C-alpha cells in the first residue's frame, strides 16, 4: 500500500512538471511559431519532467520522504526513461526532422534517419574510449555504459557554462568595467558617420559623371575586334578608366569604414541604454530589497573568483574533495573558532538548503539560456530540430548535475545515488569539470578583456 501511495505522489509530481514544461514550450520557446509537430512538444515536456524528477528525488532523499525501496525504484525507473529519451528517441527524431527538410531524401526519410542515428550511436560509444569513466567489469549493455557517456557530455557543457558565468558575474557587478557614454560621444560618432556617407555619395557621383563623359566620347562602345584588338585592350586603357578604378577603391574603403562606424554607433547606443539601466539599478540598490540583491551579487562575485582559484588548486595538486563543503565549513568553524554545536544536525539542514538553491538556480538558469539560444538561431524550418537539441542538452545537463551534486551532499545521502548510478569513476567527473571550468573561465577572461579594450569610448574625434 505504501508503494502505491509513493508512486501516486511521484506520478502527480511528474504530471505537474510535464505541464510546466508544456507551458514553457508554448509561452516561451514557440510563442512566435506555429506548432506543427506535437511529438516535439511531448518529447521536450517529458524530458523536462523526468529531469526535474531527479532533482525532486534528491530532495526526497535528504528529507526522507517516501519509503527507501520506493525511492530506489523510482530512481532506477526515472534514470532508465531519461537515458532512453536521450540516447535513442531524441537523436532519432533530430535525424528524422533534418532529413525531412531535404527534399531529395523526403521519400526515404525513415531509412536515412536510421542511418543518422546509427552514426550518432557510433560516435557516442567511441566517446567513452579515451576517458576512465567506468569500471571494466560492466557489460556492453549495462546502464552504466550509457550514464558514463552522457555524463561526459553533460559535465563538459556544465563546466563551459559555469566557467563563463564565473567570469561574467564579476564583470557585470563591478563598477570598474562600466563604460561612461555621453550624448557628446554618440553625436561625435554620428557626425563622423554622416561625413563618411557624404564622401561616399560624392565619390559615386564623380564615378557616374566620369562614366557619362566616357560614354559621350564613345570610349565605352568602342569595343576591340579581332585578336590584336584584344591584346591592345589589355595593354592599354582608356583615359578615364584608371581614375575610375582609383575612385572605386576609395569608395570600397569608405564603405567598410562606414560599416564599422555604424556598428560602433549602435554599440554606444546599447551601452547608453545599459548606463541608464545601471543608474536605475543604483537607485534601486538604495532600497532595502536592492541592498539585499546587491549584497547577493557581490557575494556570488567573490564566490565565482574563489571557485576559479579552487579549480586551479584541484588541478595542480590533483585532488578531489571527499567531504561536502557544508560539513567541511562547519568543522572548520568548530575546530578553529571554538563554537560548539551539533555538526551532523546543522550540516543536514544547511546541505538541504544549499542543494535546493543549486537545483532552483540550475533549472532557472538553464531555461533562460535555452530561451535566448533558441531565439538567436531558430527559424520556422529549423525550430523543431533546435527544440530537440535543446531537450537533449537539457537532459544531459540535469543528469550530470546529479553526478556533481552528489559531492555537495553528506555521506549518508550519497548511498542511494551511488547505488543507482553504478560504479562510475566519480572522481574523474569532478577533475574533468575543474579542467573544463578553468579553460572556459580563462577563455572568457581573455574574450571579455579584448571586448572591453576594443569597445569605443571617448576616443572618437568629431
**338 falls within a domain:** no
The grid coordinates of residue 136 equal 571494466
Based on the fold, state whether residues 154 and 242 are members of the same structural domain: no
Q: Looking at the domain assignment, is residue 151 inside a domain? A: yes
| Residue 260's pLDDT band (cuts 50, 70, 90) | confident
More confident: 379 or 445: 445
191 CB burial (10 A radius; 0-12, 13-18, 19+)? middle
Q: What is the pLDDT averaged over residues 388-414?
A: 79
7 and 152, same domain (yes or no): yes
Mean pLDDT calculated for residue range 347-357: 58
Specify the pLDDT at position 19.
93
- Residue 13 has what pLDDT? 92
Does residue 316 sit within a domain?
A: no
Q: In terms of domains, do 282 and 365 share one?
A: no
Are 100 and 10 contained in the same domain? yes
Judge if 15 and 127 occupy the same domain: yes
pLDDT at 107 over 60: yes
- 251 versus 337: the higher-pLDDT residue is 251
Note whether residue 403 is domain-resident. yes
Q: Looking at 373-419, which runs of residues are DSSP E strands? A: none
- Confidence check: pLDDT of 460 > 50: no
- Is the separation of the CB atoms in 28 and 370 below 8 Å? no
Least Cα distance to 93 among 48, 38, 139, 167 occurs for 38
Calculate the alpha carbon distances from 392 to 39, 89, 203, 334 in Å. Answer: 14, 10, 54, 44
Q: Are residues 235 and 151 in the same domain?
A: no
> Which of the two residues, 325 and 99, has the higher pLDDT score?
99
pLDDT of residue 32: 61
pLDDT number for residue 91: 92
When comparing pLDDT for 284 and 7, which is higher? 7
Question: Residue 304: inside a domain, yes or no?
Answer: no
d(CA 454, CA 446): 12
Residues pairing with 424 in the sheet? 134
In a domain, 253, yes or no: yes
Domain end call among 225, 256, 291: 291
Whether residues 64 and 184 fall in one domain: no
**Mean residue pLDDT across the chain:** 74
- Give yes or no: residues 125 and 196 share one domain: no
Measured distance CA(81)–CA(69) in Å, rounded: 18
Selection from 112-116, 269-273, 291-295, 313-317 with the highest mean pLDDT:
112-116
- Cβ atoms of 340 and 334 within 8 Å: the answer is yes
Q: Residues 137, 196: one domain?
A: no
User: What are 134's strand-pairing partners?
Assistant: 424
What stretch of H or E contains 109? helix 109-126
In angstroms, the CA 333 to CA 341 distance is 10
pLDDT at 118: 93
The whole-number pLDDT of residue 459 equals: 42
Read off the pTM: 0.65
Question: Lowest-pLDDT range, 40-54, 80-94, 211-225, 390-404?
Answer: 211-225
- Note the pLDDT of residue 85: 92
The H-or-E segment that residue 37 falls in is none
At 256, the pLDDT band (50, 70, 90 cuts) reads confident
Q: Lowest-confidence range among 53-62, 118-127, 147-156, 450-459?
A: 450-459
Residue ending a domain, among 291, 326, 353, is 291
- Kindly tell me the burial class for residue 354, based on how many C-beta atoms sit within 10 Å of its own C-beta (0-12, 13-18, 19 or more): middle
Residues 149/125, Cβ–Cβ less than 8 Å: yes
- Residue with the bigger pLDDT between 355 and 415: it is 415
pLDDT at 458: 41
Please tell me the least confidently modeled range out of 70-79, 200-209, 323-332: 323-332
pLDDT of residue 115: 93
Q: Determine what percent of the chain is predicted with pLDDT higher than 90.
A: 8
What range does the domain containing 402 cover?
2-176+343-430
**Residue 323 domain flag:** no
Given a cut of 70, is residue 284 above it in pLDDT? no
* Mean pLDDT value of segment 44-65: 86
Mean pLDDT check: name the lowest of 122-126, 144-148, 334-338.
334-338
> Stretch 129-136: mean pLDDT, rounded?
64
User: Residue 441, Cβ neighbours under 10 Å: how many?
Assistant: 25
- Residue whose C-alpha cell is 571617448: 458
Task: Give pLDDT, residue 461.
Answer: 42
154 and 215 assigned to the same domain: no
Kindly state whether residues 157 and 189 are assigned to the same domain. Answer: no
- How far apart, in Å, do the first and last CA atoms of the chain sit? 81
Average pLDDT for 34-44: 78
Per-residue model confidence (pLDDT) at position 14: 92
Number of domains making up the chain: 2
Q: Is residue 319 part of a domain?
A: no
What mean pLDDT comes out for the span 210-223? 68
Considering only residues 91 and 365, tell me which one the structure prediction assigns the higher pLDDT: 91
17 and 127, same domain (yes or no): yes
> Could you give phi then psi for residue 456, rounded to 5 degrees?
-75, 125
Amino acid at each position: 500500500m505504501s508503494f502505491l501511495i509513493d508512486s501516486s505522489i511521484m506520478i502527480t509530481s511528474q504530471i505537474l512538471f510535464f505541464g510546466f514544461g508544456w507551458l514553457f514550450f508554448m509561452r516561451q520557446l514557440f510563442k512566435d511559431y506555429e506548432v506543427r509537430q506535437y511529438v516535439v512538444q511531448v518529447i521536450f515536456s517529458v524530458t523536462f519532467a523526468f529531469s526535474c524528477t531527479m532533482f525532486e528525488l534528491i530532495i526526497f532523499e535528504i528529507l526522507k520522504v517516501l519509503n527507501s525501496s520506493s525511492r530506489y525504484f523510482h530512481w532506477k525507473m526515472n534514470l532508465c526513461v531519461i537515458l532512453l529519451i536521450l540516447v535513442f528517441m531524441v537523436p532519432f527524431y533530430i535525424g528524422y526532422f533534418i532529413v525531412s527538410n531535404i527534399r531529395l531524401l523526403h521519400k526515404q526519410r525513415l531509412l536515412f534517419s536510421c542511418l543518422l542515428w546509427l552514426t550518432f550511436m557510433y560516435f557516442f560509444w567511441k566517446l567513452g574510449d579515451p576517458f576512465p569513466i567506468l569500471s571494466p567489469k560492466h557489460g556492453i549493455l549495462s546502464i552504466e555504459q550509457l550514464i558514463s557517456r552522457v555524463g561526459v557530455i553533460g559535465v563538459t557543457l556544465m563546466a563551459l557554462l559555469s566557467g563563463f558565468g564565473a567570469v561574467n558575474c564579476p564583470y557585470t557587478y563591478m563598477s570598474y568595467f562600466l563604460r561612461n557614454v555621453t550624448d557628446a560621444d554618440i553625436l561625435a560618432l554620428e557626425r563622423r558617420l554622416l561625413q563618411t556617407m557624404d564622401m561616399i555619395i560624392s565619390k559615386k557621383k564623380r564615378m557616374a559623371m566620369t562614366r557619362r563623359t566616357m560614354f559621350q566620347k564613345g570610349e565605352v562602345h568602342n569595343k576591340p575586334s579581332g585578336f590584336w584588338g584584344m591584346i591592345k585592350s589589355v595593354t592599354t586603357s582608356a583615359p578615364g578608366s584608371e581614375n575610375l578604378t582609383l575612385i572605386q577603391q576609395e569608395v570600397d574603403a569608405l564603405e567598410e569604414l562606414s560599416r564599422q562606424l555604424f556598428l560602433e554607433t549602435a554599440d554606444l547606443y546599447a551601452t547608453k541604454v545599459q548606463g541608464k539601466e545601471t543608474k536605475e539599478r543604483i537607485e534601486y540598490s538604495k532600497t532595502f530589497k536592492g541592498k539585499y540583491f546587491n549584497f547577493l551579487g557581490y557575494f556570488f562575485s567573490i564566490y565565482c573568483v574563489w571557485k576559479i582559484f579552487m579549480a586551479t588548486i584541484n588541478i595542480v595538486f590533483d585532488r578531489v574533495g571527499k567531504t561536502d563543503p557544508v560539513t567541511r565549513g562547519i568543522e572548520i568553524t568548530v575546530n578553529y573558532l571554538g563554537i560548539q554545536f551539533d555538526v551532523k544536525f546543522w550540516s543536514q539542514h544547511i546541505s538541504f538548503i544549499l542543494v535546493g538553491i543549486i537545483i532552483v538556480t540550475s533549472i532557472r538558469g538553464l531555461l533562460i539560456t535555452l530561451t535566448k539560444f533558441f531565439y538567436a538561431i531558430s527559424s520556422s524550418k529549423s525550430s523543431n530540430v533546435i527544440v530537440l537539441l535543446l531537450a537533449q542538452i537539457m537532459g544531459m545537463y540535469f543528469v550530470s548535475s546529479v553526478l556533481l551534486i552528489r559531492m555537495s551532499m553528506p555521506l549518508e545521502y550519497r548511498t542511494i545515488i551511488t547505488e543507482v548510478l553504478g560504479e562510475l569513476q566519480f572522481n574523474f567527473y569532478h577533475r574533468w569539470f575543474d579542467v573544463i571550468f578553468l579553460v572556459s573561465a580563462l577563455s572568457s577572461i581573455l574574450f571579455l578583456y579584448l571586448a572591453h579594450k576594443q569597445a569605443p569610448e571617448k576616443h572618437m574625434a568629431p
